[in-house]
Structure 1
Amino acid sequence: MRGEARGGGSGGPGGGDAAARARRTVDAIWRIESPRLIAALTRMVRDVGVAEDLAQDALVAALETWPRSGVPDNPGAWLMATAKHRAIDLMRRARTYEDKREQVEREVGLQFALGASAFDAAHEEVGDDLLALMFICCHPLLGRDAQAALTLRLLGGLTTKEIARAFLAPEATIGQRISRAKRTLAQARAAFEVPAGDELGERLAAVMRVVYLIFNEGYAATAGDDWIRRDLCEEALRLGRMLAELAPREGEVHGLVALMEIQASRLHARTGPDGAPILLLDQDRSRWDLLLIGRGLKALDRAEALGDARGPYALQAAIAACHARARTPQETDWPRIAALYAALAQVQPSPVVELNRAVALAMAFGPEVGLRLADEIAASGALDGYHLLPAVRADLLARLGRAEEARDELARAAELTGNEQERGLLLARMATLGGEAARARRA
């Protein structure tokens, strides 16, 4: 949970268990409701920092109240009503907000007249609010890292520590970055709105980048005990679909949606019953979601029809489509995937893209070919500290029969990763290689 608050009393004999259950429920509800809550509050107070504070105040109230009174039937509406009351109190104390106070009071009066659910349906367009929040988080006044950090915080529900892990940066640095971003937006009185016209096109690239960052954090969590966070994948997918509706003639938006749909189709097959990761070539493809694959392929068709088949998201979606179309791992068109990665490296040069190309080359033309490229990347130092580089090298070395070297690389990868499930997978692979090496020595 993002908030640092702690709840109240136990409520009598046996109340401790009830309080603990209520707090777990609050945690789950907060993950779901906080982006919508912050978005709606930002629309009212026009300050993302103040909106987050008000949302946190409502969270504290829930932690104090729900363990004693029980979770309300509509917890999201309860949090919203509580936060709006606090917004009114804040505005009453701030003379410069006098006119805004009257407006919000009229809104809340309408809410109580209609009832929370009716008010939400009649007045609050959650999608518009979330999109507006996304655009303000990606405001051109902010640098790219600040845009991503603020969006991951307010819309992705990540803690400062999780964001720091994603950026390979100190937690204090990320905390300062988020605080400065909110202060910059407040001082500039940045408009809380979905941009239109030419400005929309200019700001879409930043928004798409951040949506995909959120998806990636859900698809392969950088830290914690879970390898997958489906809530983040679903949130990114929903935001991506909204963007596609907002900009239907932007092919790269459809390319982004295609990529996320196809990747999300594998979520159920990516972990075992115990949450342990299952790599792509070992997955049960009957568990892939055919509906999401179909949606992704249609979105890719739209991107290509709009002439954006060579955009970075469309190219990645085309790579994902190669896997989706293969009924078995052996049917995968690895030469095409290697060619697509080469095209991607032209439009979006990146050592991570090159590392993926090394894997594809190894699958298409043999591990020696892939290892040469992986060794070049390692020698450049461009991916020092990135755990997947030694993990890839370990796989290629193992395929070449160099088990001891592969084990050393796996140990390094396990040390570098921040995800417990991924670390377990790497250590298990180390143990397997150790057994194979021992048997080879005995032979």
Structure 2
Amino acid sequence: MVILRNILSPLQQEFNHRCKGDERGAWFVYTLLAVITHFTSSRSANLLRCLQTLFGLSLSQRRFYIFMASSKLPWSRLWATLWSLIPNPATKGRLLLALDDYINPKTGKKIFGCAPFFDHAAKINQSKYPWSQNIVSIGLLKMVKGRWACLPLAFRFYHMKKTIAAKKVRIDGKIPPFQTKFEQAIEILPEIAATFPGTPLLIVTDSWFGNDGLLKPMRKTVGQHSHMLSRLRVNTTLFALPPDHQKHRPGRSRKYGDKMGNATTLASEFHERATTYSINLYGKQRDVLAFDNIMMLKTLKCAVRIVWVYRRSQWVALFTTDLDLTVEQIIEYYGARWKIEAGFKEIKQEIGSSKSQTRNCHAVTNHLNFCMMATTITWIYADHFDKTPQRCYAVNNRSHFAFSDVRKLITQAALNKDFVSFCPGSGKPKQNSFIDALLRMVA
């Protein structure tokens, strides 16, 4: 309970200087707890029912919906406060940030941010252009009690250029300017870098974001201490490092060395020279066959360290602009990138963001902010916990605790009778036999 109080108290204090700050601060804290509580999905009606039944808030439906659709919630300050509460955010002197986008399918028209976006992961019996929201998200990759986790930090709704041109998107009655996904990511990074000044950034992305469209504006905005780790395309042409310039030779120095070939041809050439490394990958210590070399990329116009990772019948080429990274770190950090995909599942399915039916611009944005902030708070709570949480349900080949296990611990702490003294509501929780039965079911 003390850990939960130390995390939520700074967030509640952000409302002290506002009108009715004590009341709204309590609503905000309890709404976050209602999202984390895993009795039902985080639809607005279910959240209100949880606030009234579990936490005893005498809050009317009208006032709650006005609060959830408010345009005056100080999300910028709240997120900055939460970022500062993350314990030991850096990994070996670097801030590992995972960047990716995902779609959030919806049903119903006139939902903010919705359009027929292309789904590259659609199955045969699914539509390739579902009615959905496209969200660009950045999360912090961090080791939490022996396992990698992705803590959501910020997001932006992506709107297609043709949708904005057709005037189908409005924010406060105004048509927003079009921004590419790269521009949205660049808009978020300076805010994160300002919270962690002097810490080098390592952006871990997939091959779609891993190009000069992100690296050049990122270094121009954040600084030269920002680097990229991504996957190399199989047809990318690689060059050797430029030779040393000879003083008496006319002309400028060469920027690139000799052409070495593309990633595919070099993969077969370097296979015999590969070395076995022991790496913490996907929750286990694994033996990985890999070969690394420093080469030049014309797409990035700089030297990069490239690592070919060989499996039984396939190979993967990874590259990074941070030449100080070792082969083990490159493979482990890129393997940890998959946690942002697991984080999308936690937000959409476990937290229940995909089941929300809010339509108003501010209501949709506030609800997603609540879901992402609740996810981050859950991982911060797990990191502060004295012992490693135990896994409630055994799964083959998995020994680490799950996201739902931490949610259960937070639920028990929030329903503790001493928690009301820290954040008093306007009523008493209705701890009847029905709620006790629910607690036993989810324990």
TM-score scaled to structure 1, two decimals?
0.26
User: Would you tell me which structure has more strand in proportion to its own residues?
Assistant: 2
Larger relative helix fraction: 1
Q: Which TM-score applies when normalising by structure 2?
A: 0.26
